């Protein structure tokens, strides 16, 4: 291994299928040992990027580097990366042990059989599947198959592990457990993980960096908190987390947002002009009765256990989503109740339109 700072690097990479541009001019650097999530709606090019790292696709333009070595034209079997495939792609004709040891058995010069068995056992232990080695693939549950896929992909100690929607096929409870497991596995192994997902919660919870993609381009790459709190674009704000949108004009001076109905909202210093302001539901405080703030009427209430979600028809503005802590809302508002919504000027995320 080299001492490169980046395990994976994209330099002006584009990928075209005929007339269709799947990936456009992407520059990307994945730091060594990082857990990076490629996040975006389907068709945004994230899977194509992953497949270009794996070697299953070749870039039409630009260079993909792994360990600082250009990978153009290098077939998958000569790349120091391994992949956990969507739906796992386990070999149905082989048992668990043969699936996991498959990569080791491809090594040339050949690895001693006992060594193969030892390392296979280790890998299975690592994913807590010791004792399952003789099982057939179709005898395993989804979660167990997922772990076999993991063990199979890490056994060759790749520089980079690629994960293509690895949790999509699991139920919610198992997914949460696997998120934690994946995170600790990554720390234990110390290898770079590149994960593709369309699930923002998954991306935010596991990764060190979230790389949000849209229409073949990287829109923002930053740690999860920053992506959520300071989305680079309206698209990122919309895609990551829930939002309320307010359209208006920032007046000269940059302190006032004038809404369509003439109402003025205070904002933190902004450039004047037409904007769309975005407000997270949890940034809004809700109070019974009318007072200083936006007045409105509760139309729906969704009880979430640890929190309550309200849909409020704000006067002159329209529907707004509000998430309130249980502790903050001692008595719950009922549909039909008049309420007042308040928020700090800093929580308004303003994007010029």
For other proteins, the binding residues (CB under 8 A) are 54-56, 75-77, 81-83, 85-87, 89-95, 102-103, 106-107, 136, 138, 152-153, 156
Least distance from C-beta 77 to other proteins, angstroms? 5
Least distance from C-beta 156 to other proteins, angstroms? 6
Between CA 122 and CA 213, with CA 32 as vertex, the angle to 5 degrees is 110
Helices (H), the chain: 46-54, 96-105, 113-126, 142-154, 172-189, 200-206, 224-229, 234-239
C-alpha separations of 95 from 105, 157, 302 in Å: 14, 21, 47
Q: In terms of CB distance, is 87 or 245 closer to other proteins?
A: 87
For 292, the 3-state DSSP assignment is coil
Least distance from C-beta 95 to other proteins, angstroms? 8
Q: In terms of CB distance, is 153 or 211 closer to other proteins?
A: 153
Say if residues 170 and 142 touch (Cβ distance below 8 Å). yes
Q: In terms of CB distance, is 78 or 114 closer to other proteins?
A: 78
Q: In terms of CB distance, is 155 or 182 closer to other proteins?
A: 155
Least distance from C-beta 86 to other proteins, angstroms? 8
For 281, the 3-state DSSP assignment is helix
Tokens representing 348 are 């308004």
Least distance from C-beta 82 to other proteins, angstroms? 6
For 287, the 3-state DSSP assignment is strand
- Look at strands 6-17 and 20-31 and give their pairing: antiparallel
Q: In terms of CB distance, is 196 or 265 closer to other proteins?
A: 196
Least distance from C-beta 80 to other proteins, angstroms? 10
Q: In terms of CB distance, is 30 or 83 closer to other proteins?
A: 83
Give the integer Cα–Cα distance in Å for 137 and 96: 6
Tokens representing 5 are 């700072």
Least distance from C-beta 89 to other proteins, angstroms? 4
Q: In terms of CB distance, is 83 or 312 closer to other proteins?
A: 83
Tokens representing 190 are 């110390």
Say if residues 92 and 137 touch (Cβ distance below 8 Å). yes
């Amino acid at each position: 291994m080299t001492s490169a700072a980046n395990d994976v690097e994209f330099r002006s990479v584009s990928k075209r299928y005929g007339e269709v541009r799947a990936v456009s001019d992407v520059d990307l650097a994945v730091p060594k040992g990082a857990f990076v999530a490629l996040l975006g709606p389907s068709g945004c090019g994230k899977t194509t990027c992953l497949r270009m790292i794996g070697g299953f696709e070749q870039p039409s333009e630009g260079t993909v580097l792994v360990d600082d070595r250009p990978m153009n034209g290098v077939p998958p079997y000569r790349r120091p990366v391994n992949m956990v495939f969507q739906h796992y792609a386990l070999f149905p004709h082989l048992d668990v042990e043969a699936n996991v040891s498959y990569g080791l058995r491809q090594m040339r010069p050949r690895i001693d059989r006992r060594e193969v068995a030892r390392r296979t056992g280790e890998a299975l232990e690592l994913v807590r599947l010791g004792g399952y080695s003789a099982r057939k693939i179709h005898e395993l549950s989804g979660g167990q198959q997922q772990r076999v896929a993991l063990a199979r992909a890490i056994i060759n100690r790749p520089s980079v592990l690629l994960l293509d929607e690895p949790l999509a096929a699991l139920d919610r409870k198992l997914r949460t457990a696997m998120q934690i497991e994946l995170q600790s596995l990554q720390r234990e192994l110390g290898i770079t993980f590149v994960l593709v997902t369309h699930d923002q919660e998954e991306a935010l919870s596991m990764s060190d960096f979230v790389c949000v993609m849209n229409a073949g381009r990287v829109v923002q790459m930053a740690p999860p908190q920053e992506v959520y709190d300071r989305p680079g674009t309206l698209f990122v704000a919309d895609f990551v987390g829930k939002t309320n949108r307010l359209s208006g004009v920032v007046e000269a001076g940059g302190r006032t947002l004038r809404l369509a109905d003439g109402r003025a909202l205070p904002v933190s210093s902004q450039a004047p002009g037409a904007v769309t302001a975005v407000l997270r539901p949890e940034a809004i405080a809700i109070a019974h009765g009318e007072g200083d703030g936006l007045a409105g009427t509760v139309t729906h209430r969704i009880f979430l256990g640890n929190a309550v979600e309200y849909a409020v028809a704000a006067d002159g503005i329209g529907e707004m989503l509000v998430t309130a802590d249980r502790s903050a809302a001692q008595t719950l508002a009922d549909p039909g109740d008049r309420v007042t919504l308040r928020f700090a000027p800093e929580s308004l995320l303003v994007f010029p339109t």
